[in-house]
Amino acid sequence: MRVAGPLRVVVLILTAGLTWIMGSILLGTHGSSFSRLQQLFSSPENAVTTEPRARKYKCGLPQPCPEQHLAFRVVSGAANVIGPKICLEDKMLMSSVKDNVGRGLNIALVNDVNDLLKFIRPLHEGTLVFVASYDDPATKMNDETRKIFSELGSTNAKELAFRDSWVFVGAKGVQDKSPFEQHVKNSKNTNKYEGWPEALELEGCIPQRTVGAQ
């Protein structure tokens, strides 16, 4: 039976390779040739490499916080499907996995305006306040709640409207506006989701001196 063309080429290549190896052994050059082959296949240039994973620090921050600072990450909900997350010093305080988030303003699962006022009115001086919206942060806010959030350092609380996305970190007794705030308005021209703007993510380091005794 005749060997097909492609198969014949493979057989010829294998035969030539074996002949070269045998000749190298007989001539005493196999060791150096084989060593070169080993070097070729073990060369770092030919090794499969993977880029090292970027190290993550507390709450997934790309770099560690300075001493006497608290690491945090606040993520708003995505539309009315994915719940918000609040992480402080690598501890997940609120998330869908912990089953302790709800639609509205997530401070401590407070979504009723009366309960919200009871919750934020008696805050002690220096208490940190982490807020992440989910679905709609504004419908159940009245003028007093907006005023209190403004006093906590918010710039956007007075402007929050139906289904806006909002993340905010403030503190009781701050003298200036908080640098930790993001706000995206609900607009059908710019919304990422149908009826909702994009989710927001806020992360950073907060000086511990702003934290007062409870």
In a domain, 27, yes or no: yes
Could you tell me if 122 and 173 lie in one domain?
Answer: yes
Instruction: Give buried/exposed letters for 60-88 (b at 16+ CB in 10 A, else e).
Output: ebeeebeeeebbbbbbbbbbeeebbbbbb
User: For all residues of the chain together, what is the average pLDDT?
Assistant: 77
Task: Label each residue of 58-99 as H, E or C.
Answer: HHHCCCCCCCCEEEEEEECCECCCECCEEEECCEEEECCCCC
Could you tell me if 38 and 100 lie in one domain?
Answer: no
- Mean pLDDT to the nearest integer, 99-106: 85
Q: What is the pLDDT of residue 43?
A: 45
Q: What is the pLDDT of residue 211?
A: 42
Residue 212 gets which letter from DSSP?
P
Could you tell me if 5 and 111 lie in one domain?
Answer: no
Could you tell me if 139 and 180 lie in one domain?
Answer: yes
Could you tell me if 194 and 102 lie in one domain?
Answer: yes
Cα-atom radius of gyration of the chain, to the nearest Å?
Answer: 31
pLDDT at 188 over 90: no
Could you tell me if 129 and 159 lie in one domain?
Answer: yes
**How many domains does one find in the chain?**
2
In a domain, 143, yes or no: yes
Q: What is the pLDDT of residue 175?
A: 86
Q: How confident is the model at residue 155 (pLDDT cuts 50, 70, 90)?
A: very high
In a domain, 212, yes or no: no
**pLDDT tens by residue, 111-126:** 567 777 888 888 888 8
Report the SS3 class of residue 171: strand
Could you tell me if 129 and 180 lie in one domain?
Answer: yes
Could you tell me if 32 and 74 lie in one domain?
Answer: no
Could you tell me if 66 and 37 lie in one domain?
Answer: no
In a domain, 197, yes or no: yes
- Cα–Cα nearest to 135, from 82, 69, 94, 178: 82
In a domain, 185, yes or no: yes
In a domain, 51, yes or no: no
- Mean pLDDT to the nearest integer, 167-188: 92
Tokens of 1: 């039976």
Is the distance from CB of 128 to CB of 169 less than 8 angstroms? yes
Could you tell me if 31 and 63 lie in one domain?
Answer: no
Residue 144 CB coordination number (10 Å): 13
User: Between the CA of residue 79 and those of 43, 82, 93, what are the distances in Å?
Assistant: 51, 7, 21
Q: What is the pLDDT of residue 102?
A: 83
Surface-to-core class of residue 118, CB atoms within 10 Å of its CB (0-12 exposed, 13-18 middle, 19+ buried): exposed
Q: How confident is the model at residue 72 (pLDDT cuts 50, 70, 90)?
A: very high
Surface-to-core class of residue 17, CB atoms within 10 Å of its CB (0-12 exposed, 13-18 middle, 19+ buried): exposed
Could you tell me if 173 and 135 lie in one domain?
Answer: yes
**pLDDT tens by residue, 20-30:** 444 454 445 44
Domain ranges, residue 38: 1-42
CA distance 138 to 76: 14
CA distance 160 to 8: 77
Could you tell me if 20 and 110 lie in one domain?
Answer: no
